[in-house]
Amino acid sequence: MPAPVMTRLDEVPAVSRVPREPSPLGAQIRDLREARRMRLAELAQAIGKSIGYVSQIERGRSEISISTLKSISDALGVSISWFFQGYDPREPSEHGYVVRREHRRRLDFPGTGIEEELLSPTLNGEAELIMSRFAAGARSGDVQVSRMAEQSGVILSGELELRVGDRLFLLKAGDSFRIGRGEPFTACNTGSEESVSLWVIAPPLY
């Protein structure tokens, strides 16, 4: 009897070798890269692969190993689980249109008390919808940052302190806000309960 063939984990493809249609995984990589404003060449350099290979992955025309997917997730600033959430093969007709609650993509920031959920089906639209949760005392950072996108939102529960430039706003449930493109801001939950807010960011920048 021939000896069994051992397969290393990093050689296990996460996408079949010849998919009939562009892989949802490849499309997710492309959409997230574009939302990060990262060029194809920059991603290829970050993971030590050729531009052509990464292009083939994004178009679902090349297999991708677990180790390569891990490198891609690190380069794009998400956990590898990002690419396996948000996709339910049981309902292909919903892809690009509907996100079921249990399939939301999640991004947390360890040690900060902040967690975000992407509610938009994809990142290639004109805007993205994000559910943001701030634990009591959590803050986005000590230094104001800006996004080259317009941001609007509404506080669903709790309260959120929003500093935009030199303006300070204490927002409570039901209050809404807008941050202009390029305006520096920070957000902080100064309350004793979790703050939940809904954000619309246009164009998508994740």
Per-residue confidence of the chain (206 residues) as pLDDT tens digits? 444 444 343 443 444 333 334 457 888 899 899 988 999 999 999 999 999 999 999 988 887 877 888 899 999 988 787 887 766 666 778 888 888 898 888 876 767 899 889 999 888 889 999 999 999 999 988 889 888 899 999 999 999 999 999 999 999 999 999 999 999 999 999 999 999 999 999 998 76
Q: Which is nearest to 36 in space by CA: 153, 108, 123?
A: 123
- One domain, residues 194 and 109: yes
Residue 2 lies in a domain: no
Measured CA to CA, the distance from residue 194 to residue 201 in angstroms comes to 22
Please give the sequence-ordered ranges of beta strands (E in DSSP) within 79-204, or none if there are none: 105-109, 114-118, 128-134, 150-157, 159-164, 167-172, 176-179, 185-188, 195-202
* Whole-number pLDDT of residue 88: 67
Radius of gyration for the alpha carbons in the chain, expressed in angstroms and rounded: 19
| CB count in 10 Å sphere of residue 74 | 13
- One domain, residues 122 and 67: no
* Whole-number pLDDT of residue 157: 98
> Which H/E stretch holds residue 127?
none
Number of domains in the chain: 2
Answer with the one of 84, 114, 137 that is the final residue of a domain.
Answer: 84
* Whole-number pLDDT of residue 19: 37
Measured CA to CA, the distance from residue 34 to residue 124 in angstroms comes to 8
First to last CA, the chain: 53
Q: Which is nearest to 8 in space by CA: 59, 68, 60, 83?
A: 68
Find the domain containing 164 and state its range.
99-202
Measured CA to CA, the distance from residue 85 to residue 203 in angstroms comes to 22
Q: Which residues of 98-133 are buried (b: 16+ CB within 10 A; e: fewer)?
A: ebeeeebbbbeeeeebbbbbbbbbbbbeeebbbbbb
Q: In what order do the strands lie in the sheet with 159-164?
A: 167-172, 159-164, 185-188
Measured CA to CA, the distance from residue 134 to residue 177 in angstroms comes to 16
- One domain, residues 114 and 150: yes
- One domain, residues 126 and 177: yes
- One domain, residues 80 and 163: no
Measured CA to CA, the distance from residue 84 to residue 105 in angstroms comes to 8
